[in-house]
Chain A
Amino acid sequence: MDNFTVGIVVFPGSNCDRDVSWALEGCLDIRTKYLWHESSDLSDVDAIVLPGGFSYGDYLRCGAIARFSPLINALDEFVKSGKRVLGICNGFQILTESGFLPGALVANKNLNFICDDVELDIVSSKGGWFNNGDEKQTIKLPIAHGEGRYHCDSDTLKKLIDNELIALRYKNNPNGSSFDIAGITNGKGNVLGLMPHPERACDETIGGTDGLFTLKSLILK
């Protein structure tokens, strides 16, 4: 695992790329590499994080333009190979826009940009992204978004529930998300998208360490 490298994708407008790098390198001693969105060479990274921010200024829709970058085109093979991809906040929006995950993220119900800590129930163990034992477990992570209301049709919601693809649910739904959904995985479990920011909860001095487990699980096979 010494050479395990996590690629952090940088779009014009990404602003959590350095936070993710700090959390992985500084808190977990995991090597990282920034990947400019125009690159399509993913050969020397073992997992990928799509960080938060406002890629392309959120023009048209959040994540809509980023979807067409060479890097996202190359992501299809990467995902099919079973390697892990974590989309945080804007990264989650990009994953839904590009069809790696179902549904969409739309404007918060109350139109506020919400910047707060939220309590989350860990629902599914798919992919091993969260440390949930036999008992129901709750974690606290920060959120910071204006368009984080998860939306999907009822058929998709049923599939998410039936296939245990819902990873996290808000305890006190802050944004009006369908079924209190805060994060979901793909069927295989190697792709996770979530609105909360695990990279902002990796050190007690900044308020908590509940995000460490998720980032650490990037190195799982």
Chain B
Amino acid sequence: MDQFAVKVFVRLRPSVLDPAGEATKSASIKLGAEGIKSLRIGKMIEVKIEGNGENEVREKIDLLCYRLFANTVIEDYEYSLEKL
């Protein structure tokens, strides 16, 4: 069995308004940061997972992302995978 560290990034789709991102952008500007054109907030999920090779682990992570981690009506996801 191989073990992998997976980082999943879940983001609101570009077409979905992100009010928390807008509020944080507003605070960033109040802090004095200049030049911020856009600020959107997502989630990062870290998973350690075992499997027989990368392909099997990718299948498991794809299922988790599609069925649980992200709601594809409003969110996109991507992930990176590192063999431990």
Chain A residues engaging chain B, CB cutoff 8 angstroms? 60-61, 64, 68, 96-97, 102-104, 106-111, 149, 151-153, 176
Q: A60-B69, A103-B73, A104-B73 are in contact. Are A151 and B16 (CB under 8 A)?
A: yes
* B interface, size bucket: 10 to 19
Interface contacts (Cβ under 8 Å), in number, total: 35
Q: Could you say which of A60, A68, A110, A151 contacts B74, with CB atoms under 8 Å apart? A: A151
B19 CB–A CB distance under 8 Å: yes
Contact B19 A107 (CB under 8 A): yes
Q: With the chains together, A60 CA to B73 CA distance in Å?
A: 15
* Shortest Cβ gap from B22 to chain A (Å): 8
* Shortest Cβ gap from B60 to chain A (Å): 16
Q: With the chains together, A153 CA to B16 CA distance in Å?
A: 9
Identify the closest chain B residue to A105 (Cβ): B74
Q: Which chain B residues numbered 27 to 84 have a C-beta less than 8 Å away from chain A?
A: 68-69, 71, 73-74
* Shortest Cβ gap from A164 to chain B (Å): 21
Contact A111 B23 (CB under 8 A): yes
CB-CB < 8 A to A96: which residues of B?
73
